[in-house]
Amino acid sequence: MKKIGSLNLIGNTPLIKLQNIKVPNNVEIWIKYEAGNPTGSYKDRMALSVLSEAMKNGKVKLGDQVIEYTGGSTGSSLAFVSTSLGLNFTAVFSDAFSSSKKQTMEAFGAKVIVEKSYGKGITPELLSRMKTKAYELSQKPNTFYADQFGSINVLKGYIPMGKEIKNKLGNIDVFCASVGTGGAIMGTWNGLNSHNSKLVAFEPLQSPYLTSGKGGPHLVEGIGVGFEPPFLNRELISDIKCIDQVDAFKMCRRLAKEEGLFCGGSTGMNVFGALEVAKDLKYGSKVVTLACDNGLKYLNSNIYQTN
């Protein structure tokens, strides 16, 4: 298996405590800064797990074509890991997502097919169209469907993240995160193996599928998929909170200015949500959430276009 050194840069990211944003009840909010991964996103962890396991098991071999439909973060990670392992990658993408993510995938040598959103944003209809296209492509010979919504290796890829948090902080009170496939929140939770903590999930108020059964158009890339996230184990979740995307994006701008943390919309949602969670906690409790990815990917989206 071809393996290049930059794959070793995946994981072992910093844990950073909020310093300047005032947190209710003096709760400590810790942020796992996943922008520290090579493509600036925690998706590098799942891409490495999925593709290296598939190569080990002979499901994909050098020179094969990896296929996935993606909003671009998973795609950037799959593009990066594919080229590092000697594979090719084709992404089914859409103009509803940041164009810089398309450029990133292409920089790593990926082929990017763009499904039109017709200005309607990220809708369940668009995602379903992208999925059909990806499935069609994956029927060709010498292709491998990465299956970010089904592969057990997605979950496995995030277990080290939970372990890294546990090694640094010991027991925590709450782990919370927003949900796309549910891979990051559940895999990290498995790695945390912390039975006395609570697990809280967030979703966009504009696409409240988890709490109401109905998704809708929204602007927070990577989450709020409008169907049951395959990896989400509702039995382990204590609470699901709906967060307005406007508050999430405002939080992104505050994080940059007040904490020096430059992140995307799902991270804004995670931190805004963590502050909501803190309102109901005892003085000095510990909450951990994720900085899913880097703000540089969103310079041409509406997160950083306003003040």
Ligand X SMILES: Cc1ncc(COP(=O)(O)O)c(C=O)c1O
**Which residue from 292, 294, 295, 301 is in contact with ligand X, where contact means CB under 6 A?**
292
Total binding residues for ligand X by CB under 6 A? 18
**Which residue from 23, 221, 273, 281 is in contact with ligand X, where contact means CB under 6 A?**
221
Q: Does 289 bind ligand X (CB under 6 A)?
A: no
Question: How near is the Cβ of 204 to ligand X at its closest, in Å?
Answer: 11
Concatenated DSSP letters of 126-170: HHHHHHHHHHHHTTSTTEEE--TTT-HHHHHHHHHHHHHHHHHH-
* Binding span for ligand X by CB under 6 A among 31-39, 126-134, 135-143, 218-226: 218-226
Q: Does 94 bind ligand X (CB under 6 A)?
A: no
Question: How near is the Cβ of 120 to ligand X at its closest, in Å?
Answer: 19
**Which residue from 36, 71, 75, 208 is in contact with ligand X, where contact means CB under 6 A?**
71
* Binding span for ligand X by CB under 6 A among 14-22, 31-39, 177-185, 194-202: 177-185
Question: How near is the Cβ of 178 to ligand X at its closest, in Å?
Answer: 6
Q: Does 184 bind ligand X (CB under 6 A)?
A: yes
| Cβ-proximal residue to ligand X, closest one | 222
Q: Does 74 bind ligand X (CB under 6 A)?
A: yes
* Closest to 281 in 3D by CA, of 203, 175, 163, 166: 175
Give CA torsion, residues 184, 40, 208, 99, to 10 deg: -140
For ligand X, the binding residues (CB under 6 A) are 71, 73-74, 178-185, 221-223, 264, 266, 292-293
